[in-house]
């Protein structure tokens, strides 16, 4: 029998222990990888549209609250098209998760589409591009005067980051960066060729929290298109790409408007009564290449640095609506993004540092327009002594009412 030196025996045992340690290390590494895979789907936050679609398929069986919580972590790196948004919302378990997805889509509304969503159709030559823009100019010149008097339902869902919350443990305030629902409202908007756009504020409003200043996209039926005609078409828009719209291909142009030529006003909604400055802006305009009709429009403001407004972006999507048996192009959806803070009126006197001003607050309005109806006057002549008048010669004459009047009649 051979006896190995003790030193060799010890070395052998160390070698075996080292191998076992390596195996354990590998297992721990694999375990940690498994734990990483078990983390929430959106732990990394920044995701593509395809990754979002894959994740929605995985969470559609979860509770509505849990799905909404997961979606609130999403930060898309690409634009979620309206068609994809509608399809994904149908996969979600409830209203909370659908609202969370709306907020995600709104935050991505001004990004570029995924490359897979852009057709590979060759760009038209310069002459064809000029012809499309010429048709768009003609469309803008004729659209508003030809619109009939009508009213529609405007449903607004408002999201906001914040508010400041105070920790029960440390007592310190912190800002919640996630978008959350702060209010919903339903009003009637009307358009009369002689009076322009009006809004009836007596509709239904619900609020989950104090929503701060009012954020709105105003003038989507007329004034915003007038700005496009003055500014955008005069800025020599450049060809960008083709997109697939609900009814066919859309020609997309990019534009840039300098401040000295801008009619885009950053309205003061802080309550300080400060003058409303104009701002340089840029964006995209997507049109029907055959008719020149505007189908999608974005305006991204370029506010001056160190001002109270850091972000002021508008999106409007238009589509065909039937009024009185005839098709018209009207707004279907709009999104407004605003990032601003309260103006400190004492700053000019005491030169307060920026750190003492209120933090920037992001507000998002998601607006849908539906239930379009024409204004129609209907007068009924009743004989004297009928039950309607009761035979009272002093009874007032019947009043004109819009056909199919909504629950909240429009103000004209």
pLDDT at position 134 is: 95
Label residue 267 exposed, middle or buried (CB < 10 Å: 0-12, 13-18, 19+): middle
**Each residue of 162-214: pLDDT tens digit?**
655 554 555 554 445 577 888 899 998 888 765 666 666 555 555 444 333 44
Residue for token pair 């003790």: 6
Cα 342-345-348 angle, rounded to 5 deg: 125
Mean pLDDT of all residues in 317-340: 90
Residue 332 has pLDDT above 90, yes or no: yes
The DSSP 8-state label assigned to residue 78 in this structure reads S
Q: How confident is the model at residue 1 (pLDDT cuts 50, 70, 90)?
A: very low
Torsion, Cα 137 141 143 148, to 10 degrees, reads 180
**Each residue of 291-302: pLDDT tens digit?**
999 999 999 999
Residues 328 and 294: beta-carbon distance below 8 Å = no
Mean pLDDT of all residues in 278-296: 94
Sign of the CA dihedral running 78, 83, 85, 88:
negative
* Closest of 283, 294, 287 to residue 143, by C-alpha: 294
Contacting residues for 140 by C-beta, under 8 A, at least 6 apart: 225, 226, 228, 229, 233, 294
Alpha helices, H only, 257-356: 347-350
Taking the C-alpha atoms of residue 410 and residue 192, their distance in angstroms, rounded to an integer, is 11
Pairing of strands 196-207, 180-192: antiparallel
Per-domain residue ranges of the chain: 16-117, 126-374
pLDDT at position 45 is: 67
Residues 161 and 180: beta-carbon distance below 8 Å = yes
DSSP string, 120-157: -PPPPPHHHHHHHHHHHHHHHHHHHHHPPPEEEEEEEE
pLDDT at position 181 is: 84
Percent of the chain with pLDDT over 90: 36
Mean pLDDT of all residues in 368-385: 71
pLDDT at position 21 is: 52
Cis peptide upstream of residue 163 (ω within 30 degrees of 0): yes
Q: How confident is the model at residue 397 (pLDDT cuts 50, 70, 90)?
A: very low
**Each residue of 120-134: pLDDT tens digit?**
999 999 999 999 999
Label residue 14 exposed, middle or buried (CB < 10 Å: 0-12, 13-18, 19+): exposed
Model confidence pTM above 0.85: no
Taking the C-alpha atoms of residue 398 and residue 389, their distance in angstroms, rounded to an integer, is 10
Helix (H) or strand (E) holding 375: none
Residues 53 and 81: beta-carbon distance below 8 Å = no
**Each residue of 16-57: pLDDT tens digit?**
455 555 544 444 333 333 333 333 444 346 889 999 999 898
Q: How confident is the model at residue 3 (pLDDT cuts 50, 70, 90)?
A: very low
**Each residue of 52-85: pLDDT tens digit?**
999 898 888 899 999 998 898 888 999 999 999 9
For the beta carbon of residue 325, count every other beta carbon within 10 angstroms.
6
Alpha helices, H only, 228-354: 347-350
DSSP string, 247-274: TEEEEEEEEEE-GGG---B----SSS--
């Amino acid at each position: 029998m051979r006896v190995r030196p003790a030193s060799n025996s010890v070395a052998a045992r160390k070698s075996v222990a080292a191998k076992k340690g390596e195996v354990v290390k590998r297992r721990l590494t694999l375990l940690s990888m498994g734990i990483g895979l078990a983390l929430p789907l959106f732990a990394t936050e920044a995701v593509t549209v395809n990754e979002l679609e894959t994740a929605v398929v995985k969470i559609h069986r979860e509770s509505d609250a849990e799905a909404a919580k997961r979606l609130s972590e999403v930060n898309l790196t690409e634009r979620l098209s309206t068609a994809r948004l509608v399809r994904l919302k149908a996969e979600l378990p409830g209203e909370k998760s659908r609202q969370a997805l709306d907020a995600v889509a709104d935050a991505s509304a001004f990004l570029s589409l995924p490359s897979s969503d852009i057709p590979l159709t060759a760009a038209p030559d310069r002459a064809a591009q000029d012809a499309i823009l010429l048709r768009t100019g003609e469309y803008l010149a004729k659209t508003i005067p030809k619109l009939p008097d009508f009213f529609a339902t405007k449903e607004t869902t408002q999201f906001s980051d914040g508010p400041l919350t105070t920790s029960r443990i440390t007592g310190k305030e912190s800002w919640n960066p996630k978008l959350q629902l702060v209010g919903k409202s339903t009003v009637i908007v009307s358009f009369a060729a002689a009076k322009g756009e009006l809004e009836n504020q007596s509709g239904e409003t619900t609020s989950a929290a104090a929503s701060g200043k009012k954020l709105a996209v105003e003038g989507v039926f007329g004034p915003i298109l007038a700005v496009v005609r003055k500014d955008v078409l005069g800025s020599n828009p450049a060809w960008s790409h083709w997109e697939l719209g609900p009814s066919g291909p859309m020609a997309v142009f990019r534009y840039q408007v300098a401040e000295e030529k801008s009619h885009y006003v950053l309205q003061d909604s802080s309550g300080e009564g400060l003058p409303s400055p104009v701002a340089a802006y840029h964006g995209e305009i997507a049109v029907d290449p055959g008719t020149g009709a505007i189908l999608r429009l974005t305006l991204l403001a370029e506010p001056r640095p160190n001002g109270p407004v850091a972000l002021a972006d508008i999106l409007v999507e238009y589509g065909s609506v039937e009024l009185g048996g005839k098709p018209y192009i009207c707004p279907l959806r709009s999104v407004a993004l605003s990032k601003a803070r309260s103006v400190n009126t004492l700053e000019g006197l005491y030169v307060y540092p920026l750190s003492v001003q209120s933090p920037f607050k992001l507000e998002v309005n998601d607006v849908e327009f539906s239930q379009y109806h024409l204004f129609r006057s209907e007068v009924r002549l009743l004989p004297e002594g009928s039950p309607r008048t009761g035979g009272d010669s002093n009874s007032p004459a019947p009043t004109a009412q819009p056909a199919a009047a909504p629950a909240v009649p429009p103000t004209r």
